[in-house]
Amino acid sequence: MPTLNIEGRNVTVDDSFLKLSPNEQNSTVDEIKKSLGPAPPIHIGAPDGSVIEFPGDTSDETIKSVMAKHYPAPVAPAKASADERAGEIAADVAKSGGVGLAKGAIGLAGTVGDWSDILAKGSQKASNFIADKIGIDRGPQAGDTITVRLTGVPLSAHARGAALS
Q: What does the pLDDT look like over 108-140, one tens digit per residue?
A: 666 767 777 777 787 788 888 888 888 888 877
Question: How big is the chain by its Cα radius of gyration, in Å?
Answer: 43
Does this model's pTM top 0.75?
Answer: no
Inform me whether the pLDDT recorded for 149 exceeds 50: no
What would the pLDDT profile of 9-44 be if each residue is shown by its tens digit?
A: 788 988 998 899 999 999 998 888 888 777 788 899
* Alpha-carbon torsion angle 153, 154, 156, 158, nearest 10: 180
Residue 51 to residue 54: CA distance in whole angstroms: 10
What would the pLDDT profile of 36-63 be if each residue is shown by its tens digit?
A: 777 788 899 988 889 999 988 788 899 9
Lowest average pLDDT, out of 58-67, 94-103, 106-115, goes to 106-115
Average pLDDT, the chain: 78
